[in-house]
Chains A and B, each alone.
Chain A
Amino acid sequence: MATKQSKRSRPTIDMTPMVDLGFLLVTFFMMTTQFSPTDIVPISMPSSTADIKLPESNLSTVLISKDGRVFYRMDGTKNLKALGKSINDKYSLGLTDHDIERFISQTAFGMPIMGLKQFLALPELDQKTAFQPGIPIESGQNELADWLVFGRIANPQARIVVKADKGTSYYPSVKKVLDTLRDCNILRFALITDQEQKTPSI
């Protein structure tokens, strides 16, 4: 009797198909995921009915925070390297190769170019938390124009996109950014928005 009971197999479930399924899904998500760069400042975008999807790479992005600070972002290690070198040459910042390496690891730039070397010398954690005052865009000292022009030289295929917070006041930041784009002869660009939920009543 006792032996008979021990012979009864324990209720086990074959996990193999479940593993198959699990890894299939893991593979799918691993292939499709790309980690979007985290923004230095939180930006909540306005919504629109535009239906063109944002390209994944080759972007030259101007960010405008809610309080009107302007940031510049470029993707691609090679492009960033070229951008860093041209900025270094133009402003004779005297960046070392090590500084350029750190320049590449930045997600966005929002400081006067003269303060760039000092910023790159900060420890990595401090760089993330340091307050960035924004790129100067006053007509006398418009550094955004330099970022845009050198960005275009670094990657001629880059599409220029503007990403601004919906609460940003139009004057002066948004207007100045648009004027700068126009001054740089960048007449075709895109504004990043979220998908509007409601459909137009046409």
Chain B
Amino acid sequence: MAEVSTEKKRGEKGGGGIIKKGKKLSTRVDMTPVVDLAFLLLTFFMLATTFIKPQVMEMILPTKSEDSDNAPKVNEKNVMTIILDGDNKIYWFIGITDPKVELTNYSSEGIRKVLQEQIKSNPKLVILVKLDEGSTYENFVDIFDELTITKPKSFALDELSDNDKEIMQRYLGVTDVQPVGLQPTGG
């Protein structure tokens, strides 16, 4: 539009006859407002778009079986129990009769290293993950992520058994740590 008016002005200015009156006005259209509009829309859509799509983690739960007799029997030496506690603490031990409990954390030097070493030394290892009160959803996702990375033979989510509680209480009693609020089983 500015273009068109310029032409007109020029015509007026040159009214002396140098520029002939009959000269056609330019048919060019000023594109600036169109550009304004285009870029306004562009900005809006760019800001409204989210490129980072969330990821999904596949989970498969075992069926709820009533009879525990059908459950596969495993040598206790091949069972590793991981207990997730509050404050991002992880306790783990192998076997169920008087095991040596160890404390670790979620860093790549922590539980991942432990899992890698244990799986390497015993490929038949079955891992049970138990969550104690105080553990968060983030802990839950983290531990399953670590298990997906380290690929043990099998792993499962389980409840804290009475035996686990006893082991934990004994361990925490020895090391004189604040007693944890252990979750009652059942439910």
Residues of A within 8 A of B (CB): 3, 6, 10, 12, 14-16, 18-19, 22-23, 25-26, 29-30, 32-33, 35-36, 45-46, 48-54, 64, 139, 161-162, 164-171, 174-175, 178-179, 181-183, 185, 187-196, 198, 200-202
Contact = CB atoms under 8 A, between A and B. Distances in A.
Interface of B is mostly: mixed
B42 A22 contact: yes
B141 interface: yes
Contacts of A192: 54-57
Nearest to A48: B145
A187 B63 contact: yes
- Which among A3, A50, A167, A190 has the greatest number of chain B C-beta atoms within 10 A? A50
Interface of B: 3, 6, 10, 13-14, 16, 18, 30-32, 34-35, 38-39, 41-42, 45-46, 48-50, 52-64, 84, 108, 112, 131, 133-142, 144-145, 148-149, 157, 183, 187
Contacts of A64: 137
B134 A169 contact: yes
11 contacts: A12-B3, A15-B31, A15-B32, A26-B45, A35-B48, A53-B55, A165-B137, A168-B136, A171-B183, A185-B63, A198-B108
B61 A182 contact: yes
A166 B57 CA distance: 14
A195 B59 CA distance: 17
A201 B109 CA distance: 10
Nearest to A181: B61
Given A15-B35, A187-B61, A191-B59, 17 more contacts: A14-B31, A26-B41, A26-B42, A33-B45, A46-B141, A50-B148, A54-B55, A169-B134, A170-B133, A185-B63, A187-B63, A188-B60, A191-B56, A191-B57, A193-B54, A194-B54, A202-B149
Given A3-B18, A53-B53, A190 B61 contact: no
A22 B9 CA distance: 31
